[in-house]
Amino acid sequence: MGFLDNSSITVDAILTKRGRQILANGGDLGITKFALSDEEVDYTLYDVTHPNGTDSYGAVIENMSLLEATPSRTTFRSFLVDTPVSGMTLNVGSLDLGVLGKNEPISINPETVGGLTEQYEFTIENTNVVRFNGGLSTTRTASSVQLNTQSINIRAATTITVKGLSSGLVKVINLTVEADPGSGIDPLGPLNDGGAGMANSGQSAGNPYG
Amino acid sequence: MAYKDLTNEDISADTGVVTSGIWQDGASSINTFFSSSTQYTNTGDYNIDVYRYDPSANASASVQFGVVYGHREGSGSLGTKGATGDRTTAAIFGQFNQLINPPETTNFTFQGNTTAKQFYAITLNRARMREAIEPGGWELHLSSSIGKIKLVDDFSTNNGGNTFARNFAPEYNVVSGSLIGGTTIDTAASAETPSAIGSYGTFYPALGMILLNPEKLGTATLNLPHSTGSNSDDRNNRKLFDAIVDGGYFQMRRKEEISSLHYFIRATSGRFNATTNETFYTQSIAGTKQVIPAMSTEPKTYITTVGLYNNANELIAIAKLSKPILKSKSREALIKVKLDF
């Protein structure tokens, strides 16, 4: 007689740089929710012609080894959601804003084409390079945002990730900021968000910043 | 919506004690001991850094512990009051006395010996020790031309430690004994004779420190000599180091308390059965997404990563699975995410 498998999967988590920053400042991690991602999975490898039958359709995906977690992540490339985003596209304008100078304004007005109007979560990878107007946080929830490039002493690139809060659709915008010889800010130095990241919790919908 | 709220039932906290070998490469016992000629030449009158591997031949050799000798009046080192010399043994005595003993204490106490004005100390490298040494988990062999002794602490019979008022607790006694086959203690510290010489020493697990009583080590069995000449560079720490080298065995484990938070991630049957992953969809010429044929009739997704967020939607922690796990309307997934501090 065999025994039923009553085990759950146990995995170790690592803190992100933001998590470490909160701990270092003596704060509470305040973890209240989770999201699941299927990063690294290529669904085109799901093979419905596999000779071993339906159980083996996903063998190529299920047998792969995944990469380790890295602490510098601020978001994921894809998320598991409840409803397929068929027919929907997230339009954020240009995905490459090119090379910009210091203190240049950036406006991002996302639109979920084919879906309901929704709020978006904007995440800046490096707030030394670009910041939201009127705030130092790395993440902001709004229907649109205004940002400004920063004065930095060496040329640096960063990303702004836009995620539809209802659809889960994700787009990543790239930009580079030119060096400002008069600046003393190292873009690769510690992120300065002033602990303000938590302050945007619970911002009301439909209240664009900047 | 990509997020799912965690309830109090989904989160549990616990604290576990983890013990591991303290020495380089994770070993719990070592048999070889080396010093660095450079260090010994420069600061050897204060302390001797002890290595598991020869630092002159092995670039990865790291300091495991230090050996010092302290004397209240500075005996055994160069210098006296009013004369040149660093009085290194007096400096060591004052340093340890100020750290361990209450104010206005001028002697160390080794059970019946309450007026000890000298000691040897073995101080563990902080990085090796991490948080504390495991009481009842170390054994040190010392050997001289006369004999050999095996030293352990008396944690097995003195769980709470000594009741002498020191700046650090617990304090255990160093006794003659062995850990092999279970802890055996030859003679209790309080029963060592003659009482005026006292016990072999004291042990402070939280400090990573073993104090040894030179007077006791100088008696029968080991007869380890020490010199207390005035204004004389006697290097008594070298005598203890040599006894450790000749003893050829030092076993020790470190102890750490790890606080963990467990998050039970429940992906119920009706949720997370679709994805924003681009490969899940085809894209028509008009740019409209459609689920790929393989997934269109019975959608399946794969979980590779769990992200933990705060109220501000900031990604606080990440857990990666070793392999993707299948999720569909007929399958639920329960993933326990462990976050250590």
3-state secondary structure of A23: helix
User: DSSP of B284-309, one letter per residue?
Assistant: -TT--EEE-HHHHSS-EEEEEEEEEE
- Spell A192-209 as b/e; 16+ CB within 10 A means b: ebeeebbebbebeeeeeb
CA distance A106 to B54: 60
- Reported as a pLDDT band with limits 50, 70 and 90, residue A113 is confident
**3-class SS of residue A174:** strand
3-state secondary structure at position B248:
coil
Q: Where are the alpha helices (DSSP H) in A149-191?
A: none
pLDDT at A14 over 90: yes
Decide if B285 touches A, using CB distance below 8 A. Answer: no
pLDDT tens track for A130-160: 999 988 888 899 999 999 999 999 999 999 9
Cβ <8 Å between B272 and A200: no
Query: Which of B175, B124, B184, B128 minimizes the C-alpha distance to B152?
Result: B175
Q: Residue ranges of the alpha helices (H) in chain B?
A: 37-43, 88-100, 126-129, 214-217, 236-247, 293-296
**Chain A touched by B289 (CB under 8 Å):** yes
Radius of gyration of chain B (CA): 29
A200, pLDDT greater than 60 = no
Q: Does A159 touch chain B (CB under 8 A)?
A: no
Is A3-177 a domain of CATH 2.130.10.10?
no
Residue A181 to chain B, least CA–CA distance (Å): 33
User: Are the beta carbons of B89 and B71 closer than 8 angstroms?
Assistant: yes
pLDDT band at residue A209 using 50, 70 and 90 as cut-offs: very low
Distance (Å) from the alpha carbon of A72 to chain B's nearest alpha carbon: 10
Q: Torsion over CA of B1, A120, A100 and A78, rounded to 10 degrees?
A: 10
Give the nearest chain B residue to A69 (CA atoms): B320
Would you kindly state where each structural domain of chain A is located, as residue ranges?
3-177
- Compute the nearest-CA separation of A138 from chain B (Å): 8
The residue that leads in pLDDT, B320 or A207, is B320
- Is residue A207's pLDDT more than 60? no
CA distance B83 to chain A (A): 49
Distance CA A202, CA B130 (A): 40
Q: What is the pLDDT of residue B341?
A: 76
More confident residue, A122 or A2: A122
Cα A169 to Cα A79, A173, B122, B154, B320, distances in angstroms: 8, 13, 60, 63, 21
Measured between alpha carbons, how far is B312 from B316 in angstroms, rounded to an integer? 10
- State how far the Cα of A80 lies from the Cα of B301, in Å rounded to an integer: 7
Q: What is the pLDDT of residue B321?
A: 93
Residues B230 and B79 sit within 8 Å (Cβ to Cβ): no
Of B315, B303, B302, nearest to B265 (Cα)?
B303
**Cβ–Cβ under 8 Å, residues A171 and A90:** yes
Interface contact B312-A76, CB threshold 8 A? no
Q: β-strands B274-275, B63-71: how paired?
A: unpaired
Count the neighbouring beta carbons within 10 Å of the beta carbon of residue A185: 16
- How many whole angstroms separate alpha carbon B272 and alpha carbon B333? 10
Q: Rounded CA gap, B81 and B231, in Å? A: 10
- Give how far Cα A113 sits from Cα of A10, A121, B254, Å: 39, 17, 59
Q: Token pair of B84, please?
A: 């040149």
CB-closest option in A69, A80, A141 to B318? A69
Find all residues with CB under 8 Å of B313, minimum gap 6, and list them. Answer: A121, A139, A141, B3
Q: Provide the mean pLDDT of chain A.
A: 85
Q: Is A204 on the interface with B (CB under 8 A)?
A: no
Displacement of CA B282 from its chain's centroid (Å): 56
Give pLDDT tens digits for A69-83: 999 888 888 899 988
A63's tokens: 């047998």
Kindly indicate the confidence band of residue A196, based on its pLDDT and cuts at 50, 70 and 90. very low
Predicted-complex ipTM score: 0.75
Phi-psi region at A178: left, alpha or beta (left = phi > 0; alpha = psi -120 to 50): beta
Under an 8 A CB cutoff, do A201 and B288 touch? no
**Mean pLDDT within A185-200:** 63
Tokens of A199: 């302050």
Q: What residue in A sits closest to B332 (Cα-Cα)?
A: A8
**How many angstroms separate the CA atoms of B142 and B122, rounded?**
13
Report, as ranges of residue numbers, the positions in chain B whose pLDDT lies below 50. 285
Q: pLDDT tens digits for B272-290?
A: 999 988 889 886 545 567 8
Alpha helices in chain A (DSSP H): 17-24, 59-62
Q: What was the pLDDT predicted at B181? A: 87
State whether B3 and A57 contact (CB < 8 Å): no
Closest of B99, B176, B96 to residue B139, by C-alpha:
B176
| Tokens (6 digits) for A70 | 């890295």
Give the C-alpha separation, B199 to B174, whole Å.
7
Quote the pLDDT of residue A192. 62
A184 pLDDT band, cuts 50/70/90, is: confident
- The C-alpha of A205 sits at a distance from chain B's nearest C-alpha, in angstroms, of 13
| Identity of the residue in A34, A70, A76 whose CB atom sits nearest the CB atom of B308 | A34
Closest residue by Cα to residue B206 from B161, B175, B238: B161
| Burial classification of residue B43, based on how many CB atoms lie within 10 Å of its CB (0-12 exposed, 13-18 middle, 19 or more buried) | middle
